[in-house]
Chain A
Amino acid sequence: MISKVWRERLAYTAMSLFVVWHTAAIIIAPAPDNSVIAVAARPVFQPYLSLFRLDNPWDFFAPSVETGAELRYVLDDARGTRHTFVPTQELSWYLPAYFWYRSWYYGIMDEIDTYAEGAAAFFCRKHAGLRPVAITFVEYQQSDFTPDDQLAGKHPTDSEFVTAKVLKRVPCPNS
Chain B
Amino acid sequence: MSKLVTLTRAGRNARTALGRAWSDLWFQNLPTTPLELARIGVGMAALFHYALATPYLFELWGEAGWMPSARMLETYDPWKQSIFFYFTAPWQLLAFHLLFLFCCAALMVGWRTSWVKWIVLIGHISYNYRNPSLTYGVDKILACLLFILCLAPVGRAMSLDRVRAVRMAKLKDLTATLPPYRSPWAGACTRLLQIQMAVLFFYSAVSKLRGDDWWSGDAVWIVFTTNEHYNRFALDLLASQYWIVNLATYGTILIELAYTFLIWQRRTRPYLLAGAIFLHLMFAVLMGLFYFSFAMTMGHMSFVRPEWLTRLGLAWKRKFGDMEMIYDGRCGFCVRSMAWFLAYDGLGQIRVRDFRTNPSPLVSDAQMEKALYLVLPDGRALPGFEAYRYVVLRVPGLWWQIPFFYMPVLSRLIGHPIYNWVAANRGRLSSMLRLGLRARY
Contacts and interface: CB of A to CB of B under 8 A. Distances in A.
A6 interface: no
B79 A102 contact: no
Main secondary structure of the interface of B (DSSP, over half): helix
Given A58-B199, A103-B136, A156-B225, A97 B240 contact: no
Interface string A29-63: 01000000000000000110011111011111111
B207 A118 contact: no
B378 interface: no
A1 interface: no
A61 B235 CA distance: 18
B133 A65 contact: no
A63 B191 contact: no
Interface in A92-113: 93-97, 99-100, 102-104, 106-108, 111
A100 B52 CA distance: 11
B226 interface: yes
Contact of A68 (B143, B199, B225): B225
A47 B79 contact: yes
A51 B53 CA distance: 24
Interface string B35-70: 000000000000011001100100110000111100
A15 B27 contact: yes
A118 B238 contact: no
Contacts of A115: 66-67, 133
Interface residues of B, number: 72
19 contacts: A16-B22, A19-B26, A19-B192, A26-B199, A53-B143, A60-B204, A62-B208, A63-B207, A63-B209, A63-B214, A64-B214, A65-B223, A65-B226, A97-B56, A100-B53, A103-B136, A118-B68, A142-B226, A156-B230
Interface of A: 12, 15-16, 19, 22-23, 26-27, 30, 46-47, 50-54, 56-68, 70, 88, 93-97, 99-100, 102-104, 106-108, 111, 114-115, 117-119, 122, 142, 145, 147-148, 150-151, 156-157
Given A103-B135, A150-B239, A156-B230, 18 more contacts: A15-B184, A22-B192, A26-B195, A26-B199, A30-B203, A46-B79, A50-B80, A52-B147, A59-B207, A62-B207, A65-B211, A65-B219, A96-B49, A97-B53, A100-B60, A103-B133, A142-B227, A156-B227
